[in-house]
Structure 1
């Protein structure tokens, strides 16, 4: 049984639901905190994810980062050498969606030329009447940037585990591929 460790960078604008998503996932959906204090740097959360149809698991170290520009210099040091990326936007805010390009650029700069698995998360599906970013538009953007895509409502506890399971499975698949390449070289 292999237990792998992956550094997951979680980024996006302030108030899109990054912390709520990470907290809900790491607490197995036990409660939705209605009042969050804004993250002022980076909060580290850890969760072990079993990989289906294997005896392996991925321990995801989720670096939940502040969305404010003020903390970007601090983040760059903590963001070094990630394994997987998660960018969150609020589907009722076109600005938060448009800023995903900026966040992706910052995250990929830390990857040192490696192509990392990532997921774009459209949060707040419970506010469907206020939606301004269409699913098709976001899916196409994610695909064009080499990311998976999913939508969630942390508040309604819908699909909040999906982004992290996608990332853990993608990381595991890369690990298996690398292991196969190493075995061929011997």
Structure 2
């Protein structure tokens, strides 16, 4: 049994639901906090994900990052070298979707050329009548950037754990690939 540790950057514009997604994931879907104070830097949440097929686990250190530009420089300094990326946008905000390109570019600048699995999460699907970003456009952009795409409604506790489980599996797969290379050299 192996316990891996991964730094997960949670990024996206302000008010897209990053903190709510993170807190719901941490509480295993049992706690949706209705009122949040704006994140002004980075809040770190620790949560382990068990990988059922291997008995291994990935312990995430999730860096829930402020989405306001005013905090961007200080936030990036705290990112260091991320292992995985979770980009979040609000499906009712075209601007938050467009901003994902900026967030992705900034996160990738910290990887030093290393492989960094990532997901794009469209949140607030419960607000379907106000939706401005369609599923297919978001999926196509995500795939073009090498990201997997998921939609969620944190408010309705729908699909909130799947992006993190996907990231855990991807990170674990990278670990196994590196281990195989090392074992082949021995």
Q: Once the 2 structures are TM-superposed, how far is the Cα of residue 30 of structure 1 from its aligned partner?
A: 1.4
TM-score (norm 1): 0.99
Partner of 1:102: 102
Deviations 1:120-173 (A, max 9, x none): 000001001111101000000000000011000000000000110010010001
1:4 maps to what in 2?
A: 4
Runs of 4+ in 1 over 2 A off after TM superposition: none
Whole-angstrom CA distance in 2 between matches of 1:101 and 1:4: 28
Gaps of 5+ in 2: none
| 2:19 aligned counterpart, secondary structure | helix
In structure 2, the residue matched to 1:31 is 31
Name the count of aligned residue pairs: 186
For 2:139 and 2:36, the matched residues in 1 are separated by 28
Q: Report what 1:62 is aligned to.
A: 62
SS of the residue corresponding to residue 8 of structure 1 reads: strand
Q: CA deviation at 1:115?
A: 2.2
* Aligned equivalent of 1:85: 85
- 2:163 counterpart SS class: helix
Partner of 1:142: 142
Structure 1: distance between partners of 2:96 and 2:76: 20
CA distance in 2, matches of 1:185, 1:147: 31
Gapped regions of structure 1 (runs ≥ 5)? none
Cα deviation for residue 76 of structure 1 reads 1.8
Q: Distance between the aligned counterparts of 2:52 and 2:119, measured in 1?
A: 19
Q: CA RMSD in A?
A: 0.6
